[in-house]
Structure 1
Amino acid sequence: MYVLMKGCGILVGLSLVFTVSTVFIPSTIQTKAYADEGLDLYNAGDYQRALAYWQPLAERGDPQAEFGLGLLYEAGQGVAQNFDTAQRWYRKAAEQGLSDAQNALGAMYDVGRGFAKDDVQATEWYRNAAEQGNVRAEVNLSNMYRFGRGVPRDINLAIAWLQKASDAGNPAAQSNLGGIYISEDGVKDYSKAAILFQKSADQGDPGGQNGLGIMCFLGLNRPIDLACAANWYRKAAGQGDPSAEVNLGSAYYNGSGIEKDISLAIFWYRKAAEQGNVRAQEYLQYIAEHRPILKG
């Protein structure tokens, strides 16, 4: 998170928020293994047929099919959502060494889904997958080191794992690494951050787009350009990124690089608040108290 407040005693001010991306479950499965037809059906959104294909394979111990069933049960795709069943299938595949399943099992420990939240277990499973070169797990393991969750905080190890995933072209890794380079004392490097955010944004990643907006707004490695900032926030917010929604809402609230519009500020704050963004919720509360005509 990267936050800048303006004004004395004013909650809703000039706000910049940067979210750290976490990579849990892919929208499409990248791994190619024995159950290829199941992968094709899953990626095509034909979950019932994927279930029918994977079920007998999973029951015979095929790890890719076990992982596929975990995905279906965790998301409730083609079956009733059931976290307990999801984690059991993930574990079967993870214990056979399938890195996607190890990352998914780590994520369930990370967020406390299917069993109690456990940062140590999450880190262990992320590490198992990351050491096999799973870029999603590399991003997630980096976050554990960055914030000292399940392991002692170590920004250098966080950077090292993100660099591996970034070099593989992962846009979440690129935006996260850019975020480190604009916010972490001792390793700040705005030139590196700009390159990483641009690489991420070029792949359509909202984290990279929001990061470029922050750099335009603050004038990091470039002249201050508020219109540029608002433009990047809009692109990222349009993809549902809650941090960008907050930043775009603040741009509208303050008329920063964009025409002042309190109604649109409320609109974007609400979208972020509905995703659980605490800062957006605070801003809405402030507006409700100080601009009661706009409540509702």
Structure 2
Amino acid sequence: MSHNEAEKFYADGNFAGAFSIYENLAKNGDPKAQTSLGYLYQNGEGVEQSFEKAKMWYEEAVKVEYPFALFNLGVLYSNGTGVEKDEKIAFGLFLKSAILEVPHAQFEVGYLLENGIGCDQNYSESAFWYEESAKRGNIEAFNNLGVLYRDGLGVEQNHQKSAHLFKRSADMGNSSAMYNLGFCYDNGLGVEQDHDKALENLRKSAQLGNGKAHEMLQKLRDTGEFAF
């Protein structure tokens, strides 16, 4: 039995079948399978949910610094799921995973550094990790990096680059980026001022459930005008 077979079982919704394969591989020391088994325990897929066993299997894979196990264990500590919440431990695990080029981990490190959660606040380091994550296609990283360039936090302020990053993220479906791009169009920041495009992006953002965009559209309906 192989990872490919387990992945096919999982994709087909046969979680019990996937669990059986991953359990066999995990017990034979396969860190990828150990991580997948931990994930199944964490989510109660194909087996009774057990955060304790999820943590145990992630920790087995972490012994050989398997990148995705580091990230998943970091999520448990970040959320306090099955363990005592500890942002410092979470940051350390995310950082190790980020160094091993896991895009979601790179984003989390950027976010934690931006906000000083579990670590000292450092905007320039935050920008570095957002950029690394964006290089690997993380749509949230494009948006958050755009905010740093818009506000000149940890990087030299650059409205054109900021608007470009917002557009990249918005084109991939990020509602926050659509809102931020609308702000750019409304104020002519990095793009030619265009109130129609501002409103278009605001509506797209609201359709995807962005709360700020909803509030602004409500104001438009109530007063006939809007302003970011």
Tell me if TM exceeds 0.5.
yes
Please report how far the alpha carbon of residue 36 of structure 1 lies from its aligned counterpart in structure 2 after TM superposition: 2.6
Tell me, in whole angstroms, the C-alpha distance in 2 between the residues paired with 1:47 and 1:64: 16
Please report how far the alpha carbon of residue 184 of structure 1 lies from its aligned counterpart in structure 2 after TM superposition: 4.8
**Per-residue Cα deviation, 1:95-150 (whole angstroms, up to 9, x for no partner):** 22211111111111112111111111011111111111111111111112111122
Match of 1:213 among 173, 182, 190: 182
**Per-residue Cα deviation, 1:16-60 (whole angstroms, up to 9, x for no partner):** xxxxxxxxxxxxxxxxxx623223333444322211221211222
- Alignment root-mean-square deviation, CA: 2.3
Q: Which residue matches 2:8?
A: 40
Structure 2 residues not aligned, in runs of 5+: 224-228
Tell me, in whole angstroms, the C-alpha distance in 2 between the residues paired with 1:215 and 1:44: 43
Alignment coverage as a number of residue pairs: 221
Q: Which residue matches 1:250?
A: 215
TM alignment of 1:113-152, pairs within 5 A: 113-152=81-120
Tell me, in whole angstroms, the C-alpha distance in 1 between the residues paired with 2:192 and 2:219: 20
Change (3 A) 1:214 1:75: farther
Say whether residues 1:197 and 2:166 are aligned partners. yes
SS in 1 for 2:212: helix
SS in 2 for 1:153: coil
Tell me, in whole angstroms, the C-alpha distance in 2 between the residues paired with 1:156 and 1:238: 33
Matched letter for residue 235 of structure 1: K
Say whether residues 1:70 and 2:33 are aligned partners. no
**Per-residue Cα deviation, 1:67-89 (whole angstroms, up to 9, x for no partner):** 11222222233333332222222
Matched letter for residue 199 of structure 1: R
Change (3 A) 1:209 1:37: farther
Please report how far the alpha carbon of residue 237 of structure 1 lies from its aligned counterpart in structure 2 after TM superposition: 4.1
Say whether residues 1:98 and 2:66 are aligned partners. yes
Q: Which residue matches 2:56?
A: 88
SS in 1 for 2:16: helix
SS in 2 for 1:70: helix
Higher relative contact order (CA 8 A, sep 6+): 1
Say whether residues 1:157 and 2:125 are aligned partners. yes
Matched letter for residue 15 of structure 2: Y
Runs of 4+ deviating beyond 4 Å: 223-227
Structure 1 residues not aligned, in runs of 5+: 1-33, 262-296
Q: Which residue matches 2:197?
A: 228
SS in 2 for 1:149: coil
Q: Which residue matches 2:226?
A: none
Report which of the two has the higher share of helix. Answer: 2
8 Å Cα contact 1:57/1:65 also seen in 2: yes
Change (3 A) 1:239 1:43: farther
Matched letter for residue 74 of structure 1: Q
Change (3 A) 1:183 1:111: farther
Change (3 A) 1:52 1:207: farther
8 Å Cα contact 2:179/2:213 also seen in 1: no
Tell me, in whole angstroms, the C-alpha distance in 1 between the residues paired with 2:154 and 2:66: 37
Between the aligned residues of both structures, percent identity stands at 29
Q: TM-score, normalised by structure 1?
A: 0.67
8 Å Cα contact 2:103/2:136 also seen in 1: yes
SS in 2 for 1:110: helix
